[in-house]
Amino acid sequence: MGRRKRPLPFIEKLEITDAGAEGKAVGRSNDRVVFVPFAAPGDVVDVQVFKKRKSYFEGRITGFHKKSNLREEPECQHFGLCGGCKWQHLSYDQQLIFKQKQVKDAFDRIAKVPYPEMLPIIGSDKQFYYRNKLDFTFSNRRWLTDLDTSKEDGGPENTNGLGFHLPGMFDKILDIDHCYLQRDPSNAIRLAVKDYALRNELSFYNVKTWEGMLRNLIIRTSTTGDLMVIVVFREDDQDRISGLMNFLANKFPEITSLMYVINGKKNDTISDLDIRLFKGNPFIVEEMPSPQTGEKPLRFKVGPVSFYQTNSGQAVKLYKTTYDFAGFSGDELVYDLYTGAGTIAAFIARSVKKVIGAEYVENAVADARENMILNDIRNTEFIAGDLAKIFDADFISKYGKPDVIITDPPRAGMHEKVVKQILNLAPAKVVYVSCNPATQARDIAILDAKYEVKKVQPVDMFPQTHHVENVVLLERRPTS
């Protein structure tokens, strides 16, 4: 007989002392760190461990002995199951304190370089309904909660749902009634599509067998009032597709861009597929105030797979911080690394001599070029390619030596080759925008060879979550 597994520990009266990585709160039991989602510093809780590692446990709350005075009643009925807003039980002021601490911890523990006192985090004017894009998933395997009336009378009539993946479960969907992340009519559209699908017996996707008609629903809103809806189908059944699309067009005349995709692949990516326009424009327009006094607002075309900062209001504050940190005099050559759709390039272009933008995703570079035409900006150039490969001596000889580098990499941070090339070029200033303070701190530790940290400005782009953006100004040290 094989050895029986020992039951995982049950920890009584665990005191929660901090907010930690990935939005999980932290306690200690017999010198072992315990990560607990949906807890708050100051809670005293009973915890059932569900994951055991050498240096830490992960557990879930089974009962409270004391509730923290930092707690607030969450707005959302789905809090605790949905992984989207893990900090909704903390007051917004406390969320900002913990986010600022997250940046400070990354600098102290990972970068280990001198830095000035951090500027107070820039909070979001909106704590709810701030996202301009949501992606919902259809599933014939929705999660059945204890409150689910369909659980009664011998089992559910149907298990179809439209909502978000449950954390750690690729095949289970939490059916969402009301989401507090995106403005109206986002909730109304999602509920109407689900109702139509059930009434007309359209099958919901099964990720295990790769069967089912309906796969995804993507909704994009903009500050200009434009509204994009994309329905992703698995099967090219034109009768059923046109039925649903006509229903949407008639019920929601405010939709300015109505599109659909046929995705017969096993993954959900649609950027490599033919996205078909059913009604309206193949894009929405986003608007952003220009940092230059007296200039008209910047306008950006946002297509179905375009990248645009998810919190439009905070994006302005993030870019304005970047712009101010760079302190342009007007004659600089600027490299904008990981430029995306060129939003930062457009934001700064009228204040510099030239901007060279580089980006891995070819679609984004196409968007960037179009956005420059839209704004009549003529002093930018964009290059598509993997920065680790293209950012070399030939690149520099072709485009010139930059006075300022702005870099806004993905969560993984910059490739070490890119960091070393920045050191090799040694521009006077580097402004590093990051959505992951840990990888930013790692890169800054390498840049410390020639640069000193002059300013650190955290920015909250995602209220109710643990995520935080950070902008750092690095200035080249004078050579002795």
Identify the active-site residue in 76, 82, 85, 435.
435
Matching residue, tokens 């986010």:
99
Q: How far apart are CA 471 and CA 431, in angstroms?
A: 7
> Side-chain half-sphere of 363: how many Cα atoms within 13 Å?
12
Angle CA 274–220–240, to nearest 5: 50
Output the 3-class SS for the chain: CCCCCCCCCEEEEEEEEEECHHHCEEEEECCEEEEECCCCCCCEEEEEEEEECCCEEEEEEEEEEECCCCECCCCCCCECCECCCCCCCECHHHHHHHHHHHHHHHHHHHHCCCCCCCCCCECCCCCCCCECEEEEEEECCECCCCCCHHHCCCCCCCCCEEEEECCCCCCCEEECCCCCCECCCHHHHHHHHHHHHHHCCCCECECCCCECCEEEEEEEECCCCCEEEEEEECCCCHHHHHHHHHHHHHHCCCCCEEEEEECCCCCCCCCCCCEEEEEECCCEEEEECCCCCCCCCEEEEECCCCCCCCCHHHHHHHHHHHHHHHCCCCCCEEEEECCCCCHHHHHHHCCCCEEEEEECCHHHHHHHHHHHHHCCCCCEEEEECCHHHHCCHHHHHHHCCCCEEEECCCCCCCCHHHHHHHHHHCCCEEEEEECCHHHHHHHHHHHCCCEEEEEEEEECCCCCCCCCEEEEEEEECCCC
Give the angle 240-246-250 at the CA atoms, nearest 5°. Answer: 150
435 is catalytic: yes
Q: Provide the token pair at 66.
A: 């004391």
> Phi/psi of residue 459, each to 5°?
-135, 130
Q: Which residues are marked as active site?
A: 435
